[in-house]
């Protein structure tokens, strides 16, 4: 794992100060940015807090945004800490010694020493050296006369990043060791090692016995290591192609699961027809050359890892000791995987900081710059209005960043929930179509939609807010990368699934970037443009798709455009065809005239209950289980419609709530939807549109 010296990172020099922008629209305050070191492997944790406060009619909302951003930015960093904690736990509990080291080279780049950067508890058991004493020192400071072969081999691993298995003797500890060395960072290496002195002594003992041709059957039959002796079989070119088994012990039988009688006198290929070819080549080379060897390999016949020591008692023959090291190798593989995840988490943290630094500083620059211009007295009204519009736009961009961080954090923490209600799918598509037609200011780009179901058959059970968010994120992505041509979106009904699509004629996506864009902060590379955005839009869309029980995929051709698909379960609304009871609608309205109008419209078709304020509305919903829908006025005394909706949603997530308001801004619309309202209608209410909206949520409501 790569260690980076702790540094105080600055998103901007302004982050060290408290701001006050003397305009009535907003002020910003940047509070904390802390880097701390707190783990046995020098692993870092990071947290910071950015507070965005807009001075409008609702200060509480902005305070909430501050808390949300702080908690979820911290949550993202905690994922890095968890990955490192998993790595630390695994490293501390394995039986093998583990140390991470940095190679030290001379002026010519030749390894001459290495420094121990970290070590686990087992390091002490295998070396007899207190790890806290060893950490920070070089091996020559600990053992001035250590065998040079260890430094040479470890240096080769650190510089080439090629894994090697090393066996050798340390005369300082008077022990034999076997070490697996690997490197993921140039100039550094990890050693995973264990004491093999006992095994080496067994090999030497057997070598002495074999020279005198007096093999001790008791020794072989009682030793825990498997033993096999055989003779090599060569082709006409004296190349080993097989070997005949002459002798095995009981431990070998247990390791392979084959009876002794099925071994003796047979060739290896007769017993294991598809044995790894490398085994025959390696063992045959030992039998012919007399040079002993030691290796670890996987045997797919037994699905086990074996550590094998091979030597030749006489020319053409071999003897080997074999040890089942499956658990040890699996632990090593898990350790390497944990190490890889830590590296990925480090990269994730860097991506987070880089993206947030850019995405926050850019709108902040606009806010501060235009705010300074407003302080000047030389601007005319039109210029002042342009400054205000840019400040507002930048504020919305900052709010979007907060929302993205909140969504991705909830998804990854499995805290995001869906709220299924009855919705008309075609109305969702229509609403998005109208919204993006307004957003699109490019006359060379046409946006169209497709609906597979008829309006009267398009009523489904779904979370309309999250479904719209998925489609909006994909449409925003298409709009960003399509300069001319078309954007087309909609859905098809395929069996038990609704298959949605967002197709564009834009730049397309390279094959190597297609997996990247589904990762957090991942964006396709484009040398002609600077990427904008947090890189969270598509991962959030995919996360919500999976929450629906669906999947998302991509089809793209560079230069010709892209199509994003996602499929979610089709949940058609199934009303009771025998329903004869009038539906009940609770009307939360403090104006008697407005309630009277709704009563005259609806009394023939449904039963109306009147609530004069928010408190009364909440109480009636709790008391009356027969209410089919709530018409919620936003401006009410004592408890407004937004707060009343939040209270209702604490105990009832199913009942449809339609907000009605005489005046609505974009930020208020988002607040209303976030509170839990399914739809928003503006006063004055258009009667026919109102009826269609009601029937989409109350299918058994019919107007004669």
pLDDT in tens, 167-191: 888 888 888 888 889 888 899 999 9
Q: What mean pLDDT value characterizes the chain? A: 77
Give the global pTM.
0.39
On the question of a cis peptide bond just before residue 684, with omega within 30 degrees of 0, the verdict is yes
Could you tell me which CATH class the domain 94-195 is placed in?
alpha beta
The pLDDT assigned to 585 comes to 92
Per DSSP, the three-state class of 124 is: helix
**Distance separating alpha carbons of residues 119 and 100, to the nearest angstrom:** 6
Give me the architecture of the 584-697 domain, per CATH: 3-Layer(aba) Sandwich (3.40)
- Residue scoring higher pLDDT (286 or 533): 286
Name the band, by pLDDT with cuts 50, 70 and 90, for residue 34. Answer: very low
Residue with tokens 């140039």: 186
Name the band, by pLDDT with cuts 50, 70 and 90, for residue 204. Answer: low
Which strand ranges, in their side-by-side order, compose the sheet holding 175-182?
A: 111-119, 97-105, 188-195, 175-182, 164-170
* pLDDT of residue 32 exceeding 50: no
How, if at all, do strands 627-633 and 607-611 pair?
Answer: unpaired
* Residues 102, 87 contacting (CB under 8 angstroms): no
Nearest to 569 by CA among 675, 491, 667, 678: 491
Structure tokens at 503: 């197709």
Name the band, by pLDDT with cuts 50, 70 and 90, for residue 353. Answer: low
Instruction: Say how far residue 445 (Cα) sits from the centre of its chain.
Output: 34
Which of 114-128, 227-241, 571-585, 685-699 has the lowest average pLDDT? 571-585
- Residue scoring higher pLDDT (655 or 303): 655
Q: What is the pLDDT of residues 561-618, one digit of tens each?
A: 999 999 999 998 865 444 457 889 999 988 888 888 888 888 888 889 998 888 989 9
Looking at mean pLDDT, say which of 104-118, 201-215, 256-270, 536-550 comes out highest: 104-118
Same fold, 94-195 and 199-324: yes
Which of 261-265, 471-475, 566-570 has the lowest average pLDDT? 261-265
* pLDDT of residue 38 exceeding 50: no
Distances in whole angstroms, Cα of residue 116 to Cα of each of 98, 103, 189, 367, 475: 11, 9, 10, 49, 52
3-state per-residue secondary structure call for 652-690: CCCCCEEEEECCCCHHHHHHHHHHCCCEEEECCCCHHHH
Taking the domain 421-569, which CATH number applies?
3.30.565.10
3-state per-residue secondary structure call for 412-423: HCCCCCCCCEEE
Distances in whole angstroms, Cα of residue 606 to Cα of each of 120, 575, 619: 73, 16, 21
Per DSSP, the three-state class of 429 is: helix
**On the CB side of 185, how many CA atoms lie within 13 Å of its CA?**
18
The pLDDT assigned to 567 comes to 94
Q: What is the pLDDT of residues 650-677, one digit of tens each?
A: 888 889 999 988 766 767 788 888 889 9
Name the band, by pLDDT with cuts 50, 70 and 90, for residue 281. Answer: confident
Nearest to 582 by CA among 460, 698, 418: 698
* pLDDT of residue 28 exceeding 50: no
**Distance separating alpha carbons of residues 446 and 441, to the nearest angstrom:** 10
* pLDDT of residue 688 exceeding 60: yes
Q: Which positions ≥6 away from 314 have C-beta within 8 Å?
A: none
pLDDT above 70: percentage of residues in the chain: 77
- Detail the DSSP E strand segments found in 409-527: 421-424, 445-450, 459-462, 485-494, 497-504
Give the mean model confidence (pLDDT) for residues 466-475.
89
Q: What is the pLDDT of residues 95-153, one digit of tens each?
A: 888 899 999 999 999 999 999 999 988 898 888 888 889 999 999 999 999 888 899 99
675, with CB counted inside 10 A (0-12, 13-18, 19+), is: buried
The pLDDT assigned to 290 comes to 86
Give the mean model confidence (pLDDT) for residues 451-477.
89
Per DSSP, the three-state class of 12 is: coil
Residue with tokens 């709790």: 622
Q: What is the pLDDT of residues 391-434, one digit of tens each?
A: 887 777 777 777 777 777 777 667 777 888 888 999 999 988 98
Distances in whole angstroms, Cα of residue 429 to Cα of each of 59, 501, 569: 34, 11, 17
**Distance separating alpha carbons of residues 370 and 33, to the nearest angstrom:** 26
Length of the chain: 704
Structure tokens at 409: 């954090």
The pLDDT assigned to 224 comes to 75
The pLDDT assigned to 501 comes to 95
Q: Which positions ≥6 away from 545 have C-beta within 8 Å?
A: 470, 551, 552, 566, 568
Give the mean model confidence (pLDDT) for residues 444-460.
91
CATH number of this structure's domain 199-324, picked from the four choices 3.40.50.2000, 2.102.10.10, 3.30.450.20, 3.20.20.140: 3.30.450.20
Instruction: Say how far residue 328 (Cα) sits from the centre of its chain.
Output: 28
Give the mean model confidence (pLDDT) for residues 247-266.
77
Name the band, by pLDDT with cuts 50, 70 and 90, for residue 254. Answer: confident
Q: Give 224-274 as a DSSP string.
A: SSEEEEEEEEE-TTS-EEEEEEEEE-HHHHHHHT--GGGTTT-BHHHH-TT
DSSP-assigned beta bridge partners for residue 102? 115, 188
Nearest to 657 by CA among 668, 639, 637, 643: 643
Q: What is the pLDDT of residues 325-351, one digit of tens each?
A: 888 888 888 888 887 777 766 766 666
Cα-flanking dihedrals φ and ψ of residue 507, to 5°?
Answer: -70, -20
* Residues 182, 190 contacting (CB under 8 angstroms): yes
> Can you give the C-alpha Rg of the chain in angstroms?
35
Which of 313-317, 381-385, 427-431 has the lowest average pLDDT? 381-385
Name the band, by pLDDT with cuts 50, 70 and 90, for residue 1. Answer: very low
Domain boundaries, the chain: 13-91+334-412, 94-195, 199-324, 421-569, 584-697
Which of 39-53, 231-245, 436-450, 497-511 has the lowest average pLDDT? 39-53
Name the band, by pLDDT with cuts 50, 70 and 90, for residue 49. Answer: very low
């Amino acid at each position: 794992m790569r260690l980076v010296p702790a540094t105080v990172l600055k998103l901007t020099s302004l982050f060290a100060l408290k701001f006050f922008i003397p305009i009535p629209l907003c002020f910003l305050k940047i509070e904390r940015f802390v880097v701390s070191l707190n783990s046995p492997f020098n692993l870092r944790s990071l947290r910071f807090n950015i507070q965005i406060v807009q001075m409008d009619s609702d200060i509480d909302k902005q305070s909430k945004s501050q808390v949300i951003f702080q908690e979820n930015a911290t949550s993202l960093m905690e994922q890095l800490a968890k990955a490192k904690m998993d790595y630390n736990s695994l490293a501390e509990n394995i039986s093998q010694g583990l140390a991470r080291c940095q190679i030290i080279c001379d002026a010519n780049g030749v390894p001459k020493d290495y420094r121990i950067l970290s070590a686990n508890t087992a390091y002490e058991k295998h070396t007899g050296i207190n790890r806290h004493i060893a950490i920070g020192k070089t091996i020559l400071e600990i053992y001035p006369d250590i065998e040079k072969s260890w430094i040479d081999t470890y240096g080769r691993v650190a510089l080439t990043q090629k894994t090697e298995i090393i066996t050798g003797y340390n005369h300082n500890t008077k022990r034999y060791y076997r070490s697996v060395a690997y490197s993921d960072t140039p100039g550094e290496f990890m050693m995973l090692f264990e004491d093999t002195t006992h095994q080496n002594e067994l090999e030497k003992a057997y070598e002495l016995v074999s020279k005198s041709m007096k093999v001790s059957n008791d020794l072989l039959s009682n030793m825990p290591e498997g033993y096999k002796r055989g003779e090599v079989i060569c082709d006409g070119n004296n190349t080993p192609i097989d070997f005949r088994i002459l002798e095995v012990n009981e431990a070998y039988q247990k390791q392979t699961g084959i009876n002794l009688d099925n071994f003796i006198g047979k060739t290896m290929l007769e017993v294991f027809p598809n044995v790894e070819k490398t085994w025959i080549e390696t063992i045959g080379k030992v039998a012919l050359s007399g040079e002993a060897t030691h290796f670890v390999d996987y045997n797919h016949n037994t699905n086990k890892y074996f550590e094998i020591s091979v030597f030749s008692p006489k020319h053409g023959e071999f003897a080997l000791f074999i040890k089942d090291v499956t658990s040890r190798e699996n632990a090593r593989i898990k350790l390497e995987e944990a190490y890889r995840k830590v590296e990925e988490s480090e990269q994730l943290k860097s991506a987070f900081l880089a993206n947030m630094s850019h995405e926050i500083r850019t709108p902040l620059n606009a806010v501060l710059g235009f705010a300074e211009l407003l302080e000047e007295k030389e601007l005319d009204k039109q210029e002042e209005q342009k400054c205000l519009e840019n400040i507002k736009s930048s504020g919305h961009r900052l709010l979007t960043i907060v929302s993205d961080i909140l969504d991705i954090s909830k998804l990854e923490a499995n805290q995001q929930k869906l709220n299924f209600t009855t919705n008309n799918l075609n109305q969702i598509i229509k609403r998005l179509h109208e919204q993006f037609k307004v957003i699109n200011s490019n006359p060379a780009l046409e946006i169209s939609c497709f609906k597979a179901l008829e309006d009267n058959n398009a009523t489904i059970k779904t979370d309309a807010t999250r479904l719209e968010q998925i489609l909006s994120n994909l449409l925003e992505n298409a709009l960003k990368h399509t300069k001319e041509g078309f954007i087309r979106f909609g859905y098809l009904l395929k069996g038990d699934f609704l298959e949605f699509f967002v197709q564009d004629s834009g730049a397309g996506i390279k094959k190597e970037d297609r997996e990247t864009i589904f990762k957090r902060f991942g964006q396709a590379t484009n040398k002609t443009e600077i990427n904008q955005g947090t890189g969270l839009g598509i991962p959030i869309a995919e996360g919500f798709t999976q929450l629906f029980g669906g999947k998302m995929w991509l089809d793209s051709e560079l230069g010709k455009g892209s199509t994003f698909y996602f499929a979610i379960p089709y949940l058609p609304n199934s009303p009771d065809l025998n329903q004869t009871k009038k539906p009940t609608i609770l009307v939360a309205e403090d104006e008697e005239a407005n309630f009277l109008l709704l009563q005259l419209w609806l009394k023939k078709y449904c039963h109306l209950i009147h609530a004069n304020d928010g408190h009364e509305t909440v109480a009636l919903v709790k008391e009356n289980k027969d209410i089919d829908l709530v018409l919620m006025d936003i401006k009410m005394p004592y408890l407004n419609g937004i707060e009343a909706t939040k209270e209702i949603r604490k105990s009832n997530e199913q009942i449809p709530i339609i907000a009605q308001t005489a005046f609505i801004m974009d930020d208020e619309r988002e607040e209303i939807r976030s509170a839990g309202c399914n739809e928003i209608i503006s006063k004055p209410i258009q009667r026919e549109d109102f009826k269609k909206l009601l029937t989409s949520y109350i299918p058994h409501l019919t107007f004669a």
